Structure 1
Amino acid sequence: MPSHSDPTGDPQRPLPLVYGPHPDQVADLHLPDRPGADRLPLVLFFHGGFWRAAHDRRHTGAFADALARDGGCAVANVEYRRVGAGGGWPTTLTDTARAVDRLPELSSRAAPGRVDTDRVVYAGHSAGGHLALWAAVRHRLPAGAPGRTDAPAPIRGVLALAPTADLAHADRLGSGRGAVADFLGGSATEVPERYAAADPAVLGTPAGRTVVVHGTHDEALPVDMVRAYARTTGTTLTEVPHGSHFDVIDPDSPAWPSVVQALRALVEALG
């Protein structure tokens, strides 16, 4: 998908954001083409890829562009340190915390008058969906856990697309050829304190409203995982019939209307 354009027809590239000193502490801010008097809700989006360095934000650039266009939002496509390049426990989590704390203000500065920092949504796909859910429960983390805060920034909610919502479950399944154990440095029996500080399934209901969109034929993370998570936390689950793991980030897939509708429901909600 080409870069979006401004009203004059000139290409408009995403705006670069830097939220920390490391080269991976960056984000690309995508804005919709259409001008408007109203400020745009802000989506902080975390890409997936098993938390591994082999996968970076470039594979969700077209998705972020389409979400900005169709959802009428500013979308920050967030990079973070990943396993194999300085990430994993606890660095990936502390990068996530730093990103959500700093990027709203940085986005507002990069696009003066266009970003509404009172309407922020955390979002992510797969491993990035885990990070979005985790970011919204930082006030529930055990004392002293990396990223914990007693005063989280107010958000409208979380849009989790095919998320790794239960780390212990995913590890037992061997998802991503041992991706969870690589991320946290072991299994739940080997490093239980890390799972207690990182697993959305045990950390309770996220701040704001949470909507999970998940394909019923997801080949990477079974839909039963998020069904159990939704029952436990009271979050909203939208199932995409016959949807695959990547349909939820494909603007050309039948899942796309469900993704856009879920985002609009979050940003348009009162409060």
Structure 2
Amino acid sequence: MRYDDAFANAKYIINGDQFPQRWAEAAARFRDACGDRARTGLRYGEAPAEWFDLFLPEGEPQGVVIFIHGGYWRAFGPRDYSHLAAGSLARGWACALPAYTLAPGARIAAITAQMRRALPRIAAEVPGPIVLTGHSAGGHLSARLGNVDAALPAELAARLQRIVPISPLSVLTPLIETAMNADLHLNAAEARAESLALLPRRPGFSAHVWVGGAERPAFLDQARRLGNAWACPVTIEPGRHHFDVIEGLEASETPLMQALLG
């Protein structure tokens, strides 16, 4: 279909097909190393996929970072990315990774609603400020909670300190003309309604869009469009592609972690 190649990632990354296995293995090692500081399978709703894992730092957490996974809303889960909590924990922050129902089991609007339900449940576990991030489709979902129509309770919105979407999908209309839409079932109305860059940003939090310099042109364009719409910085990290751009979350003092937690 017209935009299939524009949004293809693995075929343009050396050994791109090996990354999911590497992520899963690193995530399992991280969970094992966390011991009782890993609280897994906490529920935020009744559906099978409405759960999250929470990782706690040594001592009282300064707040909570919420990372939402990608996979074009169709693939992967939180336990493929547990290791990305390492940088937050090293900075004294808790890190939560919520699951959601994958397409075609849910449409994007329904997944957005799941993340709205997950947020107050996660916030109840850890006091203090909330920082949202996510990668690719997860970048969309994390930033989607920053749109004015996300309907967050006032006390929860007041705790939202920053959103740092990584390689986000911010305008969804091109995805209608991809083969993956057989699972997503996007139509023009839903694509517009779920497009971050076409919706107003709620006040009260800072934002910083992050994207790899070696990503597909479509992802660079999507990142810039969100940065323009939200009037926020866009960092294009040199040499990073769509699969390794998230590695900055694994250590405490990387440029990405500086954008996330200062």
Does the CA contact (< 8 Å) of 1:205 and 1:235 recur in 2? Answer: no
| CA distance, structure 2, for counterparts of residue 226 and residue 170 of structure 1 | 15
Residues 206 and 248 of structure 1: CA distance in aligned 2, closer, same or farther (over 3 Å) = farther
Residue 225 of structure 1: how far off its partner (Å)? 2.0
| CA distance, structure 2, for counterparts of residue 150 and residue 29 of structure 1 | 22
Residue 253 of structure 1: how far off its partner (Å)? 8.8
Pair 1:40-2:62 in alignment: yes
Pair 1:167-2:172 in alignment: yes
| CA distance, structure 2, for counterparts of residue 97 and residue 55 of structure 1 | 20
Does the CA contact (< 8 Å) of 1:162 and 1:221 recur in 2? Answer: no
1:82 paired residue number: 102
Does the CA contact (< 8 Å) of 1:57 and 1:79 recur in 2? Answer: yes
Does the CA contact (< 8 Å) of 2:88 and 2:249 recur in 1? Answer: no
| CA distance, structure 2, for counterparts of residue 71 and residue 59 of structure 1 | 22
Residue 82 of structure 1: how far off its partner (Å)? 1.4
Larger RCO, structure (CA 8 Å, separation 6 or more): 2
Structure 2: stretches of 5+ with no match in the other structure: 1-25
Q: Following superposition of structure 1 onto structure 2, how do residues 190-229 of structure 1 map, counting pairs within 5 Å?
A: 192=189, 194-207=190-203, 208-219=205-216, 221-229=218-226
2:45 paired residue number: 20
Residue 162 of structure 1: how far off its partner (Å)? 0.9
Residue 149 of structure 1: how far off its partner (Å)? 5.0
1:178 paired residue number: 180
| CA distance, structure 2, for counterparts of residue 89 and residue 253 of structure 1 | 28
Residue 246 of structure 1: how far off its partner (Å)? 1.6
| CA distance, structure 1, for counterparts of residue 201 and residue 100 of structure 2 | 24
| CA distance, structure 1, for counterparts of residue 175 and residue 108 of structure 2 | 17
| CA distance, structure 2, for counterparts of residue 24 and residue 229 of structure 1 | 28
Pair 1:91-2:82 in alignment: no
One-letter amino acid of the structure 2 residue matched with residue 200 of structure 1:
L
1:3 paired residue number: 30
| CA distance, structure 1, for counterparts of residue 64 and residue 250 of structure 2 | 24
Identity %: 27
Does the CA contact (< 8 Å) of 2:66 and 2:96 recur in 1? Answer: yes
SS of the residue 2:35 aligns to: coil
Residues 129 and 242 of structure 1: CA distance in aligned 2, closer, same or farther (over 3 Å) = same
Does the CA contact (< 8 Å) of 2:100 and 2:115 recur in 1? Answer: yes
Normalised by the length of structure 1, the TM-score is 0.75
The answer to which of 218-227 and 230-239 deviates more is: 218-227
Paired residues in the alignment total: 230
Pair 1:55-2:73 in alignment: no
Residue 89 of structure 1: how far off its partner (Å)? 4.2
| Structure with greater proportional helix content | 2
One-letter amino acid of the structure 1 residue matched with residue 258 of structure 2:
Q
Residue 48 of structure 1: how far off its partner (Å)? 0.4
| CA distance, structure 2, for counterparts of residue 26 and residue 51 of structure 1 | 16
Residue 236 of structure 1: how far off its partner (Å)? 1.5
Question: After TM superposition, which residue ranges in structure 1, 4 or more long, deviate above 6 angstroms?
Answer: none
Does the CA contact (< 8 Å) of 2:108 and 2:194 recur in 1? Answer: no
Residue 220 of structure 1: how far off its partner (Å)? 8.0
- Tell me which of 7, 25, 31 is aligned to 2:56: 31
Write out per-residue CA displacement over residues 137-195 of structure 1, whole angstroms, 9 at most, x where no aligned residue: 1xx33xxxxx54574622102011111122124545x4xx435x743x2342xxx2x23
Does the CA contact (< 8 Å) of 1:100 and 1:135 recur in 2? Answer: no
CA RMSD of superposed structures (Å)? 2.7
Normalised by the length of structure 2, the TM-score is 0.77
